Structure 1
């Protein structure tokens, strides 16, 4: 039988290796979620779903921000299992000994070192989405103030995405609805710019974007349309935030997504990428810049026919008008001349209000560019096109004769009524 001293020694050693047991209900759930998610991730990596087009995938131009290094398969089952176990043991829920409950006020610890505070919340299984948002906000403020008291060199946004993955929350309906529903987007609106601008880490975003829609439907119980909305908004946010830092990065994200759509990867569809494409065209129109790669810009310009139908002609004309090195109005002028002669372009496209306004801006842009080159005759053609097809948007509005007559009559009645009231009042 073991002596009392021996049992005490074993108990002391066990307490040093792991926090005291039994775990609380919340800690047990966190641990179970961590193990389940880790094993699923391991299986997905070791036994990926085969795609029929895998051998025919095309490579795309990528800048440093967008290039994703593919994780190589381990050389043996031993190294695979070793890496898998390491990923579990490295999680703060297991590896970190949380601070003593009486070590200080929680709010003070959050202010002094947000990273350490959130890691402790993860270690005791108390981390949740509101706390993650609070952590990111405080970490951002500390970073802005150049606080040097933070002990951990790790990136706050990456810590949160690692926690979302290990806890399984990134595959939950609660997480997806955060992006779909505007009122709950606080966490992601803080997380996105920190990941893309500060930490240069797009890997979690691409992981969320490329996860199988069928798998997400099974995990969340949401409809296929709801999943599509999530992926569409996620891609648009990625491209928009990337464009804020560098035009090339935003265009490259779009081109990468378009290439996946062409090759049938990850169930990407035109419906999913078109909103980002339209957003980028609008950014180029509103924020012309001579910087960036001409090759990437040309790739984006020439891709319009792949994600748009006949409307691509108008988009190409606008992109040529704002080309960074060789802007020209002639593609737009050619489109205007062809439309004047055959009406084919104007008849074959659906002109929503936004597209009508786009055509007006294109016409005026073409006219202005031609006037700058002293091509007044061609400029007048562009202006006549706008007046002929979009007169309600460009011509001054003249009052209707009957409406003017009625307004005058009403004004006279009001003046007569006021005069009668003046006569009735005592002097």
Structure 2
């Protein structure tokens, strides 16, 4: 006996859900559809990113030792909100901002903003490199010095350039292996900008990572790879930023203290790279506290 199969059209009513609403939708129906999609989207994200049981009231941006603390209540924030915020704040997904024009003067906004707009635009298009980042930092610093040499560190920090470059390095994964430090031009410019922004702990964490493998890194300069020369340049860049410049005197006590702290991070076993780094920084400081100080009586030499 052959059982006749009912036609598909007869199953649509009451058995198969209606997938598409009749178009066009009115305003109320459109709102209800949007709310339905949003609820479903959040429900799935909550399933993929559930609430954690041991959430704290603050979270660190970029891991321990970075000195970048983002204070916010985690118990009152949905996991989906945090997940979406992380995506939207990623510089790799940022949309280039159009340059604002002052209609009264027909001039663009401040040059510093324009430089950062170029940086963010290149990052969003995947065109940013360490060499270009160094060029933008150099341009911003030159612009600040041209405006006024006073309070240069404070104004460098207020520019936000150092933080922008740091976020790009992290979002692109370049901070994981520290290969970007092999670009010494970027290194020498980025360290002062990070110190100016109060992010000196980031530079110390980089130094600690390089110091931990000082016995393994090559003495030769290898393009695209952090080596012994990188360790030396990074160490002195940090030490140099600890020089206390207060008119009319300059004190090197902070630099010598930083040298001692950097030396404590190096491995105890014999390491040519570690020895070279200490000698490089010691020679620089010795020159600054003797030869350079001879022509500047106001300089206060550090305690040996």
Give TM-score scaled by structure 2 length: 0.52
> Counterparts of 1:83 and 1:278 in 2: how far apart (Å)?
52
Could you say which residue in structure 1 is the equivalent of 2:41? none
8 Å contact kept, 1:109–1:117: no
Distance of aligned partners of 1:190 and 1:75 in 2 relative to their CA distance in 1, 3 Å threshold: closer
2:106 paired with 1:124: no
SS at match of 2:95: coil
Alignment of 1:4-83 (within 5 A): 4=23, 45=63
Per-residue Cα deviation, 1:228-266 (whole angstroms, up to 9, x for no partner): 3321221023223543845233222102112334889xx
RMSD over aligned CA atoms reads 5.0
> Counterparts of 1:167 and 1:273 in 2: how far apart (Å)?
31
8 Å contact kept, 2:214–2:266: no
Could you say which residue in structure 2 is the equivalent of 1:2? 20
Structure 2 alignment gaps of length 5 or more: 1-18, 39-59, 102-107, 149-156, 221-226, 246-250
Aligned residues: 220
Measured after TM superposition, the shift of residue 156 of structure 1 is 1.0
Measured after TM superposition, the shift of residue 216 of structure 1 is 10
Could you say which residue in structure 2 is the equivalent of 1:202? 200
Per-residue Cα deviation, 1:22-47 (whole angstroms, up to 9, x for no partner): xxxxxxxxxxxxxxxxxxxx9x947x
> Counterparts of 1:142 and 1:269 in 2: how far apart (Å)?
36
Distance of aligned partners of 1:97 and 1:5 in 2 relative to their CA distance in 1, 3 Å threshold: farther
8 Å contact kept, 2:240–2:255: yes
> Counterparts of 1:213 and 1:282 in 2: how far apart (Å)?
24
> Counterparts of 2:145 and 2:126 in 1: how far apart (Å)?
29
Could you say which residue in structure 1 is the equivalent of 2:96? 98
Structure 1 alignment gaps of length 5 or more: 18-41, 49-67, 180-184, 302-427
Measured after TM superposition, the shift of residue 70 of structure 1 is 9.1
Q: Which has the higher helix share?
A: 1
SS at match of 1:169: coil
> Counterparts of 2:205 and 2:253 in 1: how far apart (Å)?
21
The partner residue of 2:254 within 246, 249, 253 is: 249
- Which entry has the higher C-alpha Rg, 1 or 2? 1
2:161 paired with 1:161: no
